[in-house]
Amino acid sequence: MEMINAEVRAFLNRYYRPVSDALDPFRETGEKDRIPIILKETETVLTMLLKLKKPARVLEIGTAIGYSAAFFALSCPEAEIYTIEKDELAYSAARLNVKRAGVSDRVQLLFGDGQEQIERLRDRGIADIDFVFIDAAKSHYKRFLESALEICGDGAVIVSDNILMHGLTVFESDAPDGKHRRKHNTNRRKMREYLDFITRDPRMTTSLMTVGDGMAVTLYEKK
């Protein structure tokens, strides 16, 4: 389900400008082949947040083919980027794409489960992450974030993408019939639990937006 009228989205996207021309062919390929990459309106909001925050260390959970990792590196030329991907084919594609974008020297690609890889970063002494982007398996957002908070610094900004799941989070009638219904119901329940967590935990101040397929922007303050 489109949460925003398609004509309105198309109108707004006329004003989209990439942070670097190096991303143009990357996006064209992703959109042509229907490979999941961040939407233009999502990228625009991220660009503004990065300019305001000026992070030194970015953690991404859900690399996919590496578009957003390259975007973070090009947007923050002084920052270290840590990005985690569990799918082997996507991970291999990301390694190639990050290299093509010319940012492989600042992007550390980690293969495996998000929580496990974050724990390894913690054990390596990586800390004071000041920007987190979560765009991975929707039913695991909460455990990914709980792990990430262990290595986040005070004042970290956390962006959770695709929180509306094409309306599934909101409208129970959107769940398909048949064998996939249980999975969709689980995803809805888990996402709602996650939204409860980031909006009610006293350490976090969160704004929920209808940008793209839904976005949550959270400010984390250690208590």
Q: Above 70 in pLDDT, residue 1?
A: no
Classify residue 20: in a domain, yes or no.
yes
Three-state DSSP at 46 gives: helix
Name the residue with higher pLDDT: 49 or 22: 49
Residue 201 inside a domain? The answer is: yes
Mean pLDDT, rounded, for 47-67:
96
Binding site annotation covers 135?
Answer: yes
Q: Which domain holds residue 55?
A: 6-220
Residue 163 · residue 169 · CB < 8 Å:
yes
5 known member of a binding site: no
Instruction: Answer whether 133's CB lies under 8 Å from 68's CB.
Output: yes
* Tens-place pLDDT, residues 109-167: 999 999 999 999 999 999 999 999 999 999 999 999 999 999 999 999 999 999 998 88
CB 26 within 8 Å of CB 70:
yes
Within a 10 A sphere around the Cβ of 30, how many other Cβ atoms?
A: 19
The enclosing domain of 57 has a CATH number of 3.40.50.150
What are 130's strand-pairing partners?
none
Task: Confirm whether residue 174 is marked as ligand binding.
Answer: no
Would the annotation count 221 as a binding residue?
no
> How do residues 163-214 score in pLDDT, each as one tens digit?
998 888 888 765 556 556 777 788 899 999 999 999 999 999 999 999 989 9
How many domains does the chain fold into? Answer: 1
Scored b (16 or more CB within 10 A) or e, 106-135 reads: bbebbbebbbebbeebeeeebeebbbbbbb
Residue 1 counted as domain residue: no
